[in-house]
Amino acid sequence: MSQSAFTISHDQLPALVQAMPKAELHMHIEGSLEPELIFALAQRNGVTLSYPSVEALRAAYAFTDLQSFLDIYYAGASVLLKEQDFHDMAWAYFLKAKADNVVHAELFFDPQTHTGRGVPFEVVIQGLHSACERARTELGVSSALIMCFLRHLSEEDALKTLEQSLPYRHLFIGVGLDSSERGHPPEKFARVFARCKELGLHLVAHAGEEGPPEYIINALDVLHVERIDHGVRCVEDPELVKRLARQGTALTVCPLSNIKLCVFKTMKEHNLKTLLQHGLKVTINSDDPAYFGGYMNQNFLATFADLDLDANDAYTLACNSFEASFVSDSVKAGWIAQLDQTFARFNAQS
């Protein structure tokens, strides 16, 4: 269906956003740990938290930048010890995804956050994998795992993690780069990404969230990534914007995250609409939904409420999420056909 063909009215947008099938391409599974589950797992595993209650923990979610969030995020992950814990965390996410009509999710996981505390790699990946399988059979939600390297650690540590992961190579589809961006440029991880490319893994990296446009350029030119996670600072370099548009490189944007981490002061100031107007392949994602105030549909609704987006933008964003995913062309075509049916139904009612 061609863009700008829809006459669906503004008051129908919430129902349309809910009904349309979509893919989530940028979410950290450890960032889906709700305070209630953190406390339940702490109790189950005998872990002491430095917050007295769920309410006190949630009240601490007042971040000033990425690092202030990461400090709490890594502390929250300390309750994950057993395979069942990883399974329970991912299963809770999949229930939310299903409720939002997410039909496919590519989940980031941070093995070093766990292996650094003595949790074996196998425990992490088997717990996540069994939840992915369960999501497929019980919910009809498709998913895949992307292993992220923590960029505040050394490349040697990332290489060691890659070695540990090799017996489980069949359980994840790609690698990414996350954690503290400033001062840890993509080129720090050139060798490990080159090795991952040889292994046939998909490659993505966080870049241009807090870091400058050069980090996006080096993620593309040095790491050879296929998607940029965030990438919102690309607008500071008009040549880069033109290149991203020409190449059709996807930017997996996370609107609520960007507000919570003060990348933009308010949603009205978010540049997502500008990125779309430049012809960039933007997708909407939740990043760390338990910490940033919403899952997929809340990200869509908050963005649409403040940026004057319409049904044509909703179609573009959902279609981009399928096109930028790492599934086969035939699977993408099936989901886009479902998307077309949803929009045709709403269009006929308008």
Instruction: Give residues in contact with ligand ADE (CB under 6 A).
Output: 28, 31, 66, 73, 178-179, 206, 209, 257, 287-288
**In the complex, minimum distance from the CB of residue 303 to Zn ion, in angstroms, rounded to a whole number:** 16
The one of ligand ADE, Zn ion, none whose footprint includes residue 66, by CB under 5 to 8 A per kind, is ligand ADE
Count Cβ atoms below 10 Å from residue 224 Cβ, excluding itself: 14
- How far is residue 46 from each of residues 38, 41, 87, 122, measured CA to CA in Å? 12, 8, 18, 22
Count Cβ atoms below 10 Å from residue 331 Cβ, excluding itself: 14
Instruction: Give residues in contact with Zn ion (CB under 5 A).
Output: 287
**In the complex, minimum distance from the CB of residue 347 to ligand ADE, in angstroms, rounded to a whole number:** 35
The one of Zn ion, ligand ADE, none whose footprint includes residue 325, by CB under 5 to 8 A per kind, is none
Q: Pairing mode, if any, of strands 142-150 and 174-178?
A: parallel
Q: Which residues have C-beta within 8 Å of that of residue 144, sequence separation ≥ 6?
A: 105, 106, 107, 132, 172, 173, 174, 326, 327
**In the complex, minimum distance from the CB of residue 310 to Zn ion, in angstroms, rounded to a whole number:** 27
Q: Which residues have C-beta within 8 Å of that of residue 55, sequence separation ≥ 6?
A: none
- How far is residue 19 from each of residues 254, 285, 287, measured CA to CA in Å? 20, 16, 21
CA distance 195 to 142: 27
Q: Which is nearer to ligand ADE, 73 or 94 (CB)?
A: 73
CA distance 40 to 45: 9
The one of ligand ADE, Zn ion, none whose footprint includes residue 271, by CB under 5 to 8 A per kind, is none
Q: Which is nearer to ligand ADE, 70 or 339 (CB)?
A: 70
**In the complex, minimum distance from the CB of residue 32 to ligand ADE, in angstroms, rounded to a whole number:** 11
CA distance 320 to 289: 21
The one of ligand ADE, Zn ion, none whose footprint includes residue 31, by CB under 5 to 8 A per kind, is ligand ADE
Q: Which is nearer to ligand ADE, 142 or 257 (CB)?
A: 257
Q: Which is nearer to ligand ADE, 106 or 209 (CB)?
A: 209
- Residue number of the CB closest to ligand ADE reads 178
The one of ligand ADE, Zn ion, none whose footprint includes residue 313, by CB under 5 to 8 A per kind, is none
Q: Which is nearer to Zn ion, 6 or 172 (CB)?
A: 172
Residues making up the chain, counted from first to last: 350
**In the complex, minimum distance from the CB of residue 66 to ligand ADE, in angstroms, rounded to a whole number:** 6
Q: Does the annotation mark 209 as catalytic?
A: yes
Q: Single out the catalytic residue among 30, 209, 210, 214.
A: 209
- Is residue 31 within 8 A of residue 288, CB to CB? The reply is yes
Active site residue ranges: 209
